Each structure stands twice: as structure tokens, then as C-alpha cells.
């Protein structure tokens, strides 16, 4: 009971941040609805009513786009067939598909931040991990191995590649003091160029394509679907993300290694005084972080996309930083925030198509969410909630440490 | 000016910080305000400086009621503050730092009249014998001088009432003496001084009148001419405390820590420990006295494996540890109470329980093959909290929320939670109040009596004299003398600490 209450208490600020951001988003929708606003002089009530109606339209489309259309769900119940069921559940499964890489990279960011390492290199680690999976996937095309075996090797390769991409900045920091923010950002560029180089060569590139796109591997290796219905992409990558969230939580809060990582993250000197190896923690934290981001890339490229492109990550690395902070660096929070961001992006696309409100509004809303989470005092005063202040934070190190395991 | 506080009450959620506090101090008088951490001294000072408004009660300056609605009002009324943590811009020179916010200006453009400011500062500095060079940059000044710059700042703003918050906390013994000289000359020329501290000797030495606060109330007043340390300590804590923890004579056994010709460099690669030889036996406490920065820190770091040594030998229980890691040293049964508990000894944003296992987490029963036995952690931490009387709402409370004394108890409880053969305690009671000091000393003596060899490094002579069976004095990287606890006095230790040669009169 007590843990439930503390969970709810921790969720107050993030939840209110989302609500506030959506309300501000509504204001932006109204203020940019020039068509309706242009007749505010002649028909003020009608104009404002129509503009507000536009908000409901847009957010309604976002909701159905992210979670499903009640009408279609009803149809699926009345007349169950593969097609109707697929149509009904497609939005929610797409949300989970979008959330999967975000959760992987969000976990990666959380684990590195907890170690006191500001890993800005999620993008690079994800795409280099994806490259590892692609090399294995394409390389084993003619091996005759079963899909599942290739999958396992490919994912292992993605972890190794991503882990290496994380280990490099960790090693540089531990040995030379090179700041990880700089090195991880630079490795993002290098990673992108390495992938581009690999895709331009004949070994991986899709036959006949002049674009930097790899062969589509789905014919011989794929991540198994959870639900085998047409047009449903949800696969076991999502399950793997959940498992990893649990694993990260156990690692951080139930093992001595995790304890060392957290101790070093909070106070390097005290960790050293206690006989821990601070440099070891930096390298381990960054390697694990890179491995997780790489695994996200592996599942993405083998599962959802089936092929590697050099713009695969699409900014996931940066969104994941925001997401991990929103989550208070807790694995359970990363899952929740990942689902939220997944729902916003999936629903936002539908909103863009159906209501004409540009998809880009989503960036505004997500940015607002992050800003409000970063300023809990603002949320408290807007909503007049008395949230017990979290323990004073070392602002730049890591948001609120939980005193108990998540 | 005469200052009077009448029935000042200040409440914070859940705490009555000041409960009907009435005190008065006359023009030219020095009031010593004595109290433990949490007694309400700081709240009272913040009320005086206009940072907090009292819930009820009056402040009277020269018998006129005044309301200090903000710090400006307090300054305008003539109340000047010298905070424990200095508020000086490091890159400014003394003139700029003192004049900041109260600049004398001239001309149509209101340019800073540096010459005028400098003249006044020089004049003030001479009148009160502050001895501050007005043209030096703040960052180049030693701590004691910076404090005098703070005092100058208050005087520059024409403060007739000077409030000093724990002014000696950052000073060496000789700097403290100088400060007392300044306080006396200020008082003699009519400045009213309120001196806030938890150190008994200081109020007795410098105050004309002593008020003791306890739990937000005035626990009593005392006359420094007649009051004893013991009386004041009892008033402060509210029970009979032992200023000097009773201990029997040491029964030295085998040598546990042996140091031969040790040479260690500091972070700037300069020689910090220059050929030290030292033996510490089981069942004895060796106190190392000395002014901060004479190589004690580096010596401790060398023993505990935190700093690589240049040359020499260190053995603990017969094992060579010159190249040992901190973990290897700790596993030999060495407890290390580090000098700066906040930086080196605790992880502020971890819980009491997590801090309790900070250097034993990898051992049984906490860890089995790298996985925590959370039940064992909780049980042991609960036990430690109980045994060491750590005042904390729960073992899940973040350690940063505890008072300094309780934080130090977490460190000591942890270090003594496993059997030890050697204890290295650096400044084990720095910043702690009388009650906590007594407690920590008692625990250290217990370890001695249980057969551990103890090294206490301290800059506080009271502490060195109270607990040391033998006292070594460190100066400029060397041990310049070792006295037996019975032979040591404030005088001969003070001389040695100042660099006097170990002479005939101070036989060991």
C-alpha cells in the first residue's frame, strides 16, 4: 500500500505536466486556427466555438489514433474477423511499436545518468547497434540457419556493437578525463558516417537501390509477432524492452554492481574512499548503456523496419534523454514515459491526417512536458497541489534518487 | 547601541525554532550565544538580519521597537552580519568586495569613487587593528583575512551591532586568537557584538555575558567569569555530559601500524609528507595534532591506500600495504573515518541503509554472488541505527536530511560494524556539538579498549588532549614531537604546532 502511495505521489508532477502541456497545446491550436479566427469580428461566439471544436477534433483524433477507435472496436466485437480485429487494435499496437525503441534508449540513458555519465550518444549507439544486427542478418542470409537463431545472433551483435560505442567514451573518461558529453556527441556523428559508409558498399546495400538502404532481411530473419494479424507490426521486441526494464531495475537496486554504479554516480570521491573503482563504474555504466541502446537498434532494424537506413534513429536518442528525465531515471518510469511518447507520436500522426493540425504540434507538447517536469515548482503553483518536495537535488547530477528500490 | 529581543517566537512547519526568546546586550558588550546545532541560533540570527520575520515578539534597538522587514532594514538599523560562509566575490580586491552594494559614487555618471572607499577602508582597518591590505584580491587571501574583510564590510556599512555566526569554525587556533583581539577592540570602541558558537572555551574567553539556547528556548544565562565549561555544556545539552570521556590507562600491545621513512606528495606533486616514522600499538590512541595542511591529509590517504607513496614503508598488522588499494586496506580490518564526511564518507542522496553498507556491501551477509540480501541490509542498518543512537525518521531517509552529528554517527557506525584492528579517524568531531563529540569519543575509546590501534588526526587541541594516549605533532610534513598524553599541555603542543623545535622541556 505504502509503495503504491509513493508511486502515485511520484507520478503527480509528471501527470500534471502532461495535462498542462496538452492544455497549452489546445491554446496553440486555437490561436493558429486562422480560418475560424478570421471571422471573430462578425461572429465571435461561432468563431471561438468552432476553434474549440477544432481542439476536440484534433485531440479526439490523437486519442483514437493512439488507442483505437471505439466504433471500430465495436465492429470488431460484432463481426469478429482478422480484418476487423486488426483494424480495431492497430492503433494501440502501433503505439507499443513506437514506444519500444524509446524504452530501450530511455533505459540506456537512465543507467548512464545514474552512473553520473551524461550519455548524449543514444542515437549513435542505437544506429551502430543496428549496423551490428544488419551485418549479422545480411551475412547469414544464405546460411540456412533458422530465423530465430539468426535473430539471437543479430541481437547479440547489436548489443556488442552498441556496447562498444558506449564503452569508448566511458574508457576515455576513466583514463583521460575526456568529457563524455563531448565524446558521445562526436561519436553520434562518427556512428552515422560509419553506417553510411557501410550502406554505400555493395555488401549490405539493397540490390538495385542507389539510396543508402540495406537489403530487406524480413524474408529470412524477423522478430516474431505477438499477434499474427495482417498489418499488425507489434513483435517480441516490445516484450524484450519490458524484460530489459525489469533487468535494469534489478541490476540497479538489487545487485552490488548496480549499487557501485549508483554510488559512483552520486559521489565519485566517496565511492573511491569506500574501495570501489570509479573508473570501472564509468566504463561499465557506459557499456551497459550503449548495449541497451544498441539492442533497441537491433530490434528496430530486424523487426519493425526490416532494413537499415542511415536515418533509422530519427532523433530517438534525444527524445530518450527527455523521456528518461521525465521518468525520474526509474526503469518503471521509463516504461510509462515511453508509452506516453509512443502514444503521442502515433496519435499525433493520425491527428495530422484527420484534422489538419500539423504533426509538429507534438514537438511543442513534448517540449512543454519536459519543461514542466524540470520545473516542478511551476506545476505545484499552477495546480495548487501540495506535493512534498523531493529531497534537495544536485541539479546537474541526477534527479531524485529513490531511497527504495523501484 | 543596545539591542534587545523580547519574546521572539518563530515557528516552522512541525518545529518551534524559537520559543519566546528574550535576550539583551548593551553597547560595547560581547554577548556569547551558545547552543548545539538545532538549538535555534541560526533562526534567531536570520530574524536579526531581516531574513525571517518572527511570528511574535519585538526587536528593540536603543529601546526603540524596530521591524526588520528585509536585510536592508536590518543593515539600516545598524546590524551587521558576518556569516559562517563568506559572501565575497573572489576576483574582487578588498576595496571592491567591501564597497560592493554600498559604493561611494561621484560625478554626474555616479562612477565608483574608489579612492574614497579605499580611504575609509584603510582608516577602519587601522582603527580596529584588522590589518587588511585593501589592494589584494580576495581569492589570494587566507581564510582568517577573508573573515576580517567580512567584518570590514559590516563596519563599512556603519554597523554598531556585529553578529558573528560560528566565526572560528574555519580558523586556525592562532587566527582565532587574532579574531578575539579584534572583537575586544571593537567592543572597547563601542560596537556591540553577538558571538554565536557551540564552542565552550570561546564564549568563556571572549564574552561579557553568555546566553545558552536549547531546543529553541533560552536554557540559561551565565557569567563568563565564573562559569565552567562543565556547567555550560550541561546547560547546552540538558543533561550531564562528559567533556573528557573517561578512559583508563592505555594497555599498548603489539605494533599494528608501522610507518618507516614515509614520503608522500600532494596533488600538486609537492612533498607533503617528508620522512615520517610512526608506530601505533594495539590498545592505544595516537593523536596527531597540527594545523591543517601540514601533511596530515596526505599521511592518512597514504595509509588507507588512497594515495600512492613516493617512498618508505607502511605495514598494518605486519602486512605491507604500500601498494594496496583502499579495498585491500579496508579488508585488513582498517576503519577509516574520513576528514570530510560529506565529500568522502557519505553519499548524500542515498539512504541511511545504503550508506551504512558503503564499504562492506560486497561482503556477507549483504551480498551473495553479487545480489543483495535486502533483508540483511535492513536488519543490520536498523541495528546500527539503534546501537549508535542515530536520530533518523527511518533507515530509508536520505542521509543528507540528517544533522551533522547524526551523519557522522552513520559513518562511525558503519566503520565499526565489522571487527577492526586499526582505526584511522581524521577530524572525527569537526563541526559537531558537545553531545555528539562525547558520543563519538566514547565509541573510539571502546574500540581502543577492545584492542584496536587508533590514530586520530585533529586540529582541535581540546580533542587531542582529551583522547590521546600519545600525541604526535605534525608540522611541515614531519612529526616534530611525540608527547605522552600526561605531559602534553595546550602550551607545549601549541609551540610544536607553530614549528618550534622539539626541545629539552618536552620530553616524551
Listed residue (B258, B297, B470, B477) closest to B493, CA to CA: B470
Helix axes A278-299, A236-254, angle to 10 degrees: 170
Name the DSSP class of B505: T
pLDDT of B506 above 80:
no
pLDDT at position B300 is 95
Phi, psi of B448 (to 5 degrees): -60, -50
Cβ-based contacts of A398 with chain B (< 8 Å): 349
Cα of B423 to nearest chain A Cα, Å:
15
Q: Are B483 and B286 in contact (CB under 8 A)?
A: no
Tens of pLDDT, residue by residue over B183-229, are: 999 999 899 999 998 888 889 999 999 999 988 899 999 998 998 88
Q: Are B477 and B273 in contact (CB under 8 A)?
A: yes
Dihedral (Cα; A282, A259, A271, A333), 10-degree rounding: 70
Three-state DSSP class for B284?
coil
Quote the radius of gyration of chain A (alpha carbons, Å): 23
Q: What is the mean pLDDT of chain B?
A: 89
Nearest to A392 among B327, B370, B400 (CB): B400
Q: Where are the strands (E) in B299-412, listed by range?
A: 311-316, 319-320, 334-337, 367-368, 371-372
List, in sequence order, every residue forming a beta bridge with B288; answer none if it has no partner.
B457, B472
Do strands B56-61 and B64-66 pair parallel, antiparallel, or not at all (unpaired)?
A: antiparallel
Query: Which of A250-254, B144-148, B485-489, B503-507 is least confident?
Result: B503-507
Three-state DSSP class for B78?
coil
Cβ-based contacts of B348 with chain A (< 8 Å): 266-267, 394
**Cell triple for residue B256?**
599494528
Name the DSSP class of B20: E
Cα of B58 vs its chain's centroid, Å: 32
Cα of A152 to nearest chain B Cα, Å:
26
Q: CB–CB of A257 and B361 under 8 A?
A: no
Cα(A67)–Cα(A347) distance, integer angstroms: 8
Chain A residue whose CA is closest to B378? A404
Q: CB–CB of B347 and A271 under 8 A?
A: yes
DSSP letters spanning B299-316 = HHHHHTTSS--SEEEEEE
pLDDT of B270 above 70:
yes
Average pLDDT over residues B312-338: 94
Listed residue (B191, B83, B100) closest to B182, CA to CA: B191
pLDDT at position A388 is 53
Burial (0-12, 13-18, 19+ Cβ within 10 Å), B64: exposed
Cα(B235)–Cα(B243) distance, integer angstroms: 13
Three-state DSSP class for B276?
strand
Listed residue (B289, B294, B292) closest to B492, CA to CA: B289
Query: Which of A272-276, B327-331, B383-387, B391-395 is least confident?
Result: B391-395
Cα(A63)–Cα(A354) distance, integer angstroms: 12
Q: Which parts of chain A have pLDDT scores under 70?
A: 1-2, 386-406
Q: Where are the strands (E) in A3-66, listed by range?
A: none
DSSP 3-state percent helix, strand, coil across chain B (nearest 5): 35, 25, 40
pLDDT at position A394 is 30
Quote the radius of gyration of chain B (alpha carbons, Å): 25
Instruction: Give the end-to-end CA distance of chain B in Å, rounded to a whole number.
Output: 52
The answer to whether residue A257 neighbours chain B at the CB level (below 8 Å) is yes
Q: CB–CB of A394 and B349 under 8 A?
A: yes
Listed residue (B228, B212, B206, B220) closest to B162, CA to CA: B206
Alpha-helical regions (H) of B157-294: 173-188, 200-206, 229-237
Cα(A215)–Cα(A307) distance, integer angstroms: 6
Instruction: Please give the share of chain B, as a percent, with pLDDT higher than 90.
Output: 47
pLDDT at position A391 is 39
3-state DSSP of B106-117: ECCCCEECHHHH
B interface toward A at CB cutoff 8 Å?
304, 306, 325-327, 330, 336, 338, 343-351, 354, 358-359, 361-362, 366-367, 370-372, 374, 396-398, 400-401
Q: Are A244 and A332 in contact (CB under 8 A)?
A: no
Q: CB–CB of B349 and A255 under 8 A?
A: no
Cβ-based contacts of A257 with chain B (< 8 Å): 370
For chain B, the maximum distance between any two Cα atoms, rounded to a whole number of angstroms, is 80
List, in sequence order, every residue forming a beta bridge with B12; answer none if it has no partner.
B15
List, in sequence order, every residue forming a beta bridge with B285; answer none if it has no partner.
B454
Residue B504: pLDDT band by 50, 70, 90 thresholds?
very low
pLDDT at position A398 is 35
Omega prior to B466 cis, within 30 of 0: no
Tens of pLDDT, residue by residue over B47-57, are: 988 888 899 99
Three-state DSSP class for B368?
strand
Cα(A178)–Cα(A118) distance, integer angstroms: 12
Nearest to A403 among B330, B351, B366 (CB): B351
Q: CB–CB of A270 and B346 under 8 A?
A: yes
Listed residue (B455, B443, B498) closest to B474, CA to CA: B498
Cα(A397)–Cα(A267) distance, integer angstroms: 10
Q: What is the CATH number of domain A12-383?
A: 1.10.3470
Amino acid at each position: 500500500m505504502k509503495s503504491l502511495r509513493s508511486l502515485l505521489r511520484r507520478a503527480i508532477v509528471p501527470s500534471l505536466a502532461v495535462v498542462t502541456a496538452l492544455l497549452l497545446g489546445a491554446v496553440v491550436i486555437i490561436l493558429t486556427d486562422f480560418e475560424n479566427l478570421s471571422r471573430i469580428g462578425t461572429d465571435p461566439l461561432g468563431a471561438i466555438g468552432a476553434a474549440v471544436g477544432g481542439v476536440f477534433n484534433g485531440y479526439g483524433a490523437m486519442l483514437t489514433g493512439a488507442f483505437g477507435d471505439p466504433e471500430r472496436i465495436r465492429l470488431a466485437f460484432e463481426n469478429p474477423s482478422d480484418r476487423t480485429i486488426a483494424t480495431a487494435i492497430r492503433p494501440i499496437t502501433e503505439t507499443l511499436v513506437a514506444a519500444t525503441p524509446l524504452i530501450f534508449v530511455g533505459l540506456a540513458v537512465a543507467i548512464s545518468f545514474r552512473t553520473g555519465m551524461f550519455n548524449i550518444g543514444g542515437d549513435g549507439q542505437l544506429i551502430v547497434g543496428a549496423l551490428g544486427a544488419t551485418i549479422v542478418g545480411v551475412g547469414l542470409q544464405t546460411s540456412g540457419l533458422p530465423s530465430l537463431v539468426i535473430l539471437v545472433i543479430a541481437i547479440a551483435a547489436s548489443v556488442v556493437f552498441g556496447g562498444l560505442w558506449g564503452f569508448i567514451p566511458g574508457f576515455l573518461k576513466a583514463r583521460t578525463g575526456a568529457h563524455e558529453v563531448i565524446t558521445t556527441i562526436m561519436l553520434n556523428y562518427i556512428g552515422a558516417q560509419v553506417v553510411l559508409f557501410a550502406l554505400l558498399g555493395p555488401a549490405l546495400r539493397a540490390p538495385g537501390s542507389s539510396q543508402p538502404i540495406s537489403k530487406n532481411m524480413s524474408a529470412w530473419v524477423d522478430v516474431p509477432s505477438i499477434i499474427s494479424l495482417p498489418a499488425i507490426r507489434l513483435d517480441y521486441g516490445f516484450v524484450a524492452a519490458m524484460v530489459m526494464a525489469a533487468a535494469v531495475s534489478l541490476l540497479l537496486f538489487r545487485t552490488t554492481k548496480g549499487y557501485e554504479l549508483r554510488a559512483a554516480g552520486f559521489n565519485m570521491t566517496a565511492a573511491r574512499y569506500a574501495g570501489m573503482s570509479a573508473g570501472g563504474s564509468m566504463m561499465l555504466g557506459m557499456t551497459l548503456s550503449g548495449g541497451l541502446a544498441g539492442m533497441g537498434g537491433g530490434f528496430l532494424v530486424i523487426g519493425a523496419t526490416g532494413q537499415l537506413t542511415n536515418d533509422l534513429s530519427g532523433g530517438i536518442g534525444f527524445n530518450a534523454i527527455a523521456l528518461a528525465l521525465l521518468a525520474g531515471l526509474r526503469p518503471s518510469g521509463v516504461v510509462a514515459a515511453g508509452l506516453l511518447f509512443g502514444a503521442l507520436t502515433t496519435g499525433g500522426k493520425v491527428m495530422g491526417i484527420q484534422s489538419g493540425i500539423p504533426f509538429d504540434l507534438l514537438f511543442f507538447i513534448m517540449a512543454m512536458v519536459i519543461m514542466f517536469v524540470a520545473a516542478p515548482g511551476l506545476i505545484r503553483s499552477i495546480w495548487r497541489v501540495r506535493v512534498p518536495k523531493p529531497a534537495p537535488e544536485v541539479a546537474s547530477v541526477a534527479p531524485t534518487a529513490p531511497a527504495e528500490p523501484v | 547601541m543596545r539591542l534587545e529581543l523580547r519574546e521572539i517566537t518563530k515557528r516552522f512547519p512541525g518545529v518551534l525554532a524559537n520559543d519566546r526568546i528574550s535576550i539583551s546586550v548593551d553597547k560595547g558588550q560581547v554577548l556569547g550565544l551558545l547552543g548545539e546545532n538545532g538549538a535555534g541560533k541560526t533562526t534567531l540570527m536570520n530574524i536579526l538580519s531581516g531574513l525571517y520575520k518572527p511570528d511574535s515578539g519585538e526587536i528593540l534597538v536603543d529601546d526603540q521597537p524596530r521591524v526588520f522587514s528585509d536585510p536592508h532594514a536590518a543593515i539600516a538599523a545598524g546590524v551587521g552580519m558576518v556569516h559562517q560562509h563568506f559572501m565575497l566575490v573572489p576576483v574582487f580586491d578588498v576595496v571592491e568586495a567591501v564597497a560592493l552594494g554600498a559604493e561611494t559614487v561621484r560625478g554626474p555618471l555616479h562612477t565608483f569613487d574608489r579612492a574614497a572607499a579605499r580611504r575609509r577602508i584603510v582608516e577602519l582597518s587601522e582603527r580596529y587593528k584588522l590589518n587588511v591590505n585593501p589592494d589584494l584580491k580576495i581569492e589570494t587571501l587566507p581564510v582568517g583575512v577573508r573573515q576580517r574583510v567580512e567584518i570590514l564590510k559590516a563596519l563599512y556599512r556603519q554597523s554598531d551591532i556585529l553578529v558573528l555566526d560560528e566565526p572560528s569554525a574555519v580558523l586556525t587556533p592562532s587566527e582565532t586568537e587574532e579574531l578575539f583581539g579584534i572583537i575586544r577592540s571593537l567592543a572597547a570602541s563601542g560596537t556591540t557584538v553577538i558571538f554565536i558558537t557551540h564552542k565552550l572555551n570561546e564564549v568563556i574567553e571572549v564574552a561579557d555575558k553568555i546566553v545558552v539556547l536549547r531546543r529553541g528556548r533560552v536554557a540559561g544565562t551565565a557569567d563568563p567569569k565564573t562559569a565552567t565549561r562543565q556547567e555550560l555544556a550541561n546547560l547546552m545539552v540538558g543533561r550531564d555530559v562528559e567533556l573528557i570521556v573517561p578512559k583508563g590507562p592505555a594497555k599498548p600491545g603489539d605494533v599494528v601500524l608501522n610507518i618507516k621513512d614515509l614520503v608522500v606528495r600532494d596533488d600538486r606533486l609537492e612533498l607533503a609528507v617528508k620522512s615520517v616514522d610512526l608506530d601505533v600499538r594495539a590498545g592505544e590512541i595516537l593523536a596527531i595534532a597540527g594545523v591543517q595542511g601540514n601533511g596530515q591529509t596526505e599521511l592518512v590517504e597514504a595509509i588507507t591506500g588512497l594515495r600512492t607513496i613516493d617512498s618508505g614503508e607502511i605495514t598494518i598488522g605486519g602486512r605491507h600495504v604500500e601498494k594496496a588499494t583502499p579495498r585491500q586496506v579496508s579488508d585488513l580490518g582498517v576503519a577509516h573515518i574520513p576528514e570530510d564526511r560529506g565529500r568522502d564518507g557519505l553519499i548524500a542522496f542515498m539512504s541511511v541503509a545504503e550508506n551504512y553498507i558503503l564499504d562492506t556491501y560486497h561482503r556477507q551477509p549483504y551480498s551473495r554472488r553479487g545480489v543483495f540480501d535486502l533483508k540483511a541490509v535492513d536488519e543490520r542498518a536498523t541495528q546500527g541505527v539503534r546501537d549508535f543512537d542515530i536520530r533518523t525518521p527511518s533507515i530509508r531517509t536520505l542521509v543528507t536530511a540528517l544533522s551533522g552529528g547524526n551523519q557522522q554517527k552513520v559513518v562511525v557506525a558503519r566503520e565499526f560494524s565489522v571487527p577492526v584492528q586499526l582505526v584511522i579517524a581524521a577530524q572525527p568531531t569537526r563541526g559537531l556539538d558537545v553531545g555528539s563529540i562525547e558520543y563519538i569519543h566514547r565509541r573510539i575509546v571502546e574500540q581502543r579498549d577492545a584492542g584496536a590501534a587508533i590514530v586520530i588526526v585533529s586540529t582541535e587541541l581540546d580533542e587531542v588532549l582529551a583522547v590521546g594516549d600519545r600525541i604526535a605533532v605534525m608540522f611541515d610534513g614531519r612529526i616534530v614531537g611525540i608527547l605522552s598524553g600526561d605531559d602534553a599541555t595546550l602550551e607545549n603542543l601549541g609551540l610544536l604546532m607553530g614549528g618550534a623545535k622539539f626541545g629539552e622541556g618536552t620530553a616524551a
